[in-house]
A and B are shown apart, each in its own frame.
Chain A
Amino acid sequence: MAAGTGSGRTVSATFSPVRGWLLLPSWLVIGIFLLVPVLLMLVYSFLTKEFRGGVIWEFSLAAYDQFVFDRGLFGDDPPQIEWAYITIFVRSILQALGATVLCLLIGFPTAYFIATRPANTRAIWLFLVTIPYWVNLLIRTVSMKFLIRDNGPLNEALLAIGVIDAPLQLINTNFAVQLGLFYSYLPFMVLPIYASVERYNFALSEAASDLYAPKWTILRSILLPVVKPGIIAGCILVFVPSLGAFLAPDLLGGAKTFMIGSLIEEQFKGNAGNWPFGAAASMILLSMVLVVLLFYARAQSREQT
């Protein structure tokens, strides 16, 4: 993320002869493993679906039509707006927003705390934050499931101390999905915020304090604007993968209600077998993410000029 590093004007002369080539490996990797597949998806989304998976090389808008219009069970009713997929998208966006807000609420104080420790202990704190993430995401999500199930340790503990009379229904709910997303991506929020708070010059806070600024004002008018790039980077890093997540909805949400990721997965891997539609849904998701990033980039460049 190029966020907040807009001061690359002091180019070292050491690499100037080869400067044009420095990005070559990145371009190759991005070109081969990102652009080509994305273009392929774009093409596939405009093809005709083959029965039982696969595509027929004939141009068709059927996939996008299916996304927008509901033509009834047999495909011959007058077209109406199809709410099914919009519902799935809105649900995913709300889940991703929720995860982002939760991550921010917990991640910002955590990052601030770490950044204000003595320099020699910060590495340990950061290490502690990252330790759970050395375990595979799948294992962590399954473990979460064991924790929150009806007769799992969480419910049993709450029952034992008498907070609740009957087990809380947590598993297979939207709340469980939210919890899974939030927990999966928390470090993506902590680390960028930490990086920007660490560079923050605390003399600014002291100066403001000396001038009798209340703590809230210092936070709002001085600290937050300075570390904003880190916060935004963190939000994007949490929001975007949450939007396309399918492990958490599948394992914690019981795969009962689709999020975008599971809808797309189902088109390629599951029962439905409609590749163009899966590709179209991916393209719509990608466009939404790009729009968010474009707004962010424009806001950034406006701020810097």
Chain B
Amino acid sequence: MNIKTLLGSTALVLAANAAAAEGSLSLYHWFEYIPQELIEKFEAEYDVDVTMDTYDSNEALLASLKAGTLGSYDLAVPGDYMVEIMAGEGLLDAIAEGELANKGNIQPEWLDVSFDPGRMYSIPYQWGSTSFSVNRDVYAGDINSTSILFDPPPELAGKINMLDSQGEVMAMASLHLGIPQCSTDRDQLQALDALLQGASANWASFGSDIAKDVLVSGDAAAGMIYNGFSAKARAEGANIEYAYPDEGYVVWMDNVVLLKDAPNRANALLFMDFLLEPENIAAVTNYAQYAAGVTGVAEFLDPELAVMPENNPREGAGPGAFIAVCDQATQEVYDQIWTRLRS
């Protein structure tokens, strides 16, 4: 095949694709968080071309939208506290009552949530927890304490991966110290700073998208991680255990939001409705191994999910807490602690 026919056929394929699809939809999503088959199912059902870019932290999503990508995506999937921040920054488009046919499928407890009262801007995607996992070949002792991260036993020191996510690291550190999130108390903030600067000597790396791989490959012997991601690491052969520490852990819910100036608003609403169908969102849950916030998913779920240790906090575990949104003064202290941590 010479280059001309190659180019010609490529152009033909492109033209055919363009002609075939009714419209398009542009997703801005987390890494490894939606099964390709589900996207293909939506594309086939509604004749819509879906394109997707990924990000690896709520903060990266916010930064990218504020830096000028707003208007090029239809939907994004921010975590709970980020929905609140994005709504406050005017980055979201409100969904009027009646625009979503399947809104009634949202589980009642996830309908009126503090980060989006009345679900004006968002629908549930998945929810789960953030804590840490430990390689049991390396360390067999007690892992039910956040000390594993902040004051690790010698076997784990220098072999810990932290999520590159300020919100989650600060929340875990606050739980470890037993201080409230977004504390404005100077002594408490000093203590937080001292804790993190001291602990960072025992950390090997920062990274969210690598959190599973480093545990599977053995680059890290312990690591902060999301529960479903840890289950996947275990399924890939890592002998790791996910901890529900005494001090507590982070609970989160990721939500699909309609972005302001969405170029394909109608298709975006179609996709939101699509994700509120129990069968479809169950496919996401089976893939990502978290939990959905939609009624009627149970019958579509992989039965193993219900009994997975990652999905069932042990008896006596501390409470789960959502990440709080700090005021500007506290956030600036947090930012400074975070930068010092890396210098």
Chain B window 68-88, contacts with chain A (Cβ cutoff 8 Å), 1 for yes, 0 for no: 000000000000000001000
- Kindly state whether residue A221 has any CB partner on chain B within 8 Å: no
Within 8 A of B (CB), among A250-267: 254-258, 262-263, 266
Could you tell me the distance between the alpha carbons of A84 and B341 in the complex, rounded to whole angstroms?
A: 10
CB of A145 to closest CB in B, whole Å: 8
- Kindly state whether residue A85 has any CB partner on chain B within 8 Å: yes
Within 8 A of A (CB), among B294-343: 328, 331-333, 335-340, 342-343
Residue of chain B at shortest CB distance from A254: B205
- Kindly state whether residue A54 has any CB partner on chain B within 8 Å: yes
- Kindly state whether residue A247 has any CB partner on chain B within 8 Å: no
B205–A270 touching, CB < 8 Å = no
A53–B190 touching, CB < 8 Å = no
How many residues of B are in contact with the other chain, CB < 8 A? 41
Within 8 A of A (CB), among B76-102: 85, 89
Within 8 A of A (CB), among B199-230: 200, 203-207, 217-219
Residue of chain B at shortest CB distance from A149: B219
- Kindly state whether residue A272 has any CB partner on chain B within 8 Å: yes
Most buried by A among B85, B164, B167, B343: B343
- Kindly state whether residue A271 has any CB partner on chain B within 8 Å: yes
B338–A149 touching, CB < 8 Å = no
Could you tell me the distance between the alpha carbons of A255 and B166 in the complex, rounded to whole angstroms?
A: 14
Q: In the complex where A255-B207, A256-B204 touch, is A171 in contact with B63 (Cβ < 8 A)?
A: no
Q: Which residues from chain A sit less than 8 Å from chain B, CB to CB?
A: 51-54, 73-75, 84-85, 87-88, 149-151, 169, 171-172, 254-258, 262-263, 266, 268-274
Could you tell me the distance between the alpha carbons of A269 and B204 in the complex, rounded to whole angstroms?
A: 22
- A residues within 8 A CB of B59? 270-271, 273
A272–B328 touching, CB < 8 Å = no
17 A-B residue pairings within 8 Å (CB atoms): A54-B66, A73-B189, A84-B343, A150-B218, A151-B217, A169-B158, A254-B205, A254-B206, A255-B205, A255-B206, A255-B342, A266-B339, A269-B64, A269-B67, A270-B60, A272-B339, A273-B66
Besides A53-B63, A271-B57, 18 more A-B contacts (Cβ < 8 Å) are A52-B89, A73-B333, A74-B189, A75-B332, A84-B340, A150-B219, A256-B200, A256-B203, A256-B342, A262-B342, A263-B343, A266-B339, A269-B60, A270-B57, A270-B59, A270-B164, A272-B335, A273-B59
Could you tell me the distance between the alpha carbons of A255 and B161 in the complex, rounded to whole angstroms?
A: 10
Could you tell me the distance between the alpha carbons of A266 and B217 in the complex, rounded to whole angstroms?
A: 27
B62–A53 touching, CB < 8 Å = yes
Which of the residues B63, B161, B186, B200 comes within 8 Å of A270, measured between beta carbons?
B63
A256–B332 touching, CB < 8 Å = no
Which of the residues A74, A258, A263, A272 comes within 8 Å of B186, measured between beta carbons?
A74
CB of B334 to closest CB in A, whole Å: 8
- Kindly state whether residue B165 has any CB partner on chain A within 8 Å: yes
Which of the residues B62, B161, B190, B193 comes within 8 Å of A52, measured between beta carbons?
B62
Could you tell me the distance between the alpha carbons of A272 and B338 in the complex, rounded to whole angstroms?
A: 8
CB of B48 to closest CB in A, whole Å: 29
B66–A73 touching, CB < 8 Å = no
Could you tell me the distance between the alpha carbons of A262 and B207 in the complex, rounded to whole angstroms?
A: 13
Q: Which residues from chain B sit less than 8 Å from chain A, CB to CB?
A: 57, 59-60, 62-64, 66-67, 85, 89, 158, 161, 164-167, 186, 189-190, 193, 200, 203-207, 217-219, 328, 331-333, 335-340, 342-343
Could you tell me the distance between the alpha carbons of A73 and B195 in the complex, rounded to whole angstroms?
A: 14
CB of B166 to closest CB in A, whole Å: 4
CB of A11 to closest CB in B, whole Å: 38
Could you tell me the distance between the alpha carbons of A53 and B82 in the complex, rounded to whole angstroms?
A: 14
Which of the residues B85, B158, B165, B217 comes within 8 Å of A271, measured between beta carbons?
B165
Q: In the complex where A73-B193, A73-B333 touch, is A171 in contact with B219 (Cβ < 8 A)?
A: yes
B63–A149 touching, CB < 8 Å = no
- B residues within 8 A CB of A169? 158
- B residues within 8 A CB of A269? 60, 63-64, 67
Could you tell me the distance between the alpha carbons of A271 and B340 in the complex, rounded to whole angstroms?
A: 13
Could you tell me the distance between the alpha carbons of A207 and B333 in the complex, rounded to whole angstroms?
A: 69
CB of A94 to closest CB in B, whole Å: 15
Most buried by B among A73, A150, A271: A271
CB of B149 to closest CB in A, whole Å: 14
- B residues within 8 A CB of A171? 219
Most buried by B among A51, A52, A169, A266: A52
Could you tell me the distance between the alpha carbons of A263 and B342 in the complex, rounded to whole angstroms?
A: 9
Could you tell me the distance between the alpha carbons of A53 and B70 in the complex, rounded to whole angstroms?
A: 14
Per CB-CB distance, the 6 closest pairs between chain A and chain B, nearest first, are A254-B205, A271-B166, A84-B343, A53-B66, A255-B206, A271-B59
Q: In the complex where A73-B336, A151-B217 touch, is A273 in contact with B63 (Cβ < 8 A)?
A: yes
Could you tell me the distance between the alpha carbons of A258 and B341 in the complex, rounded to whole angstroms?
A: 9
CB of A116 to closest CB in B, whole Å: 37
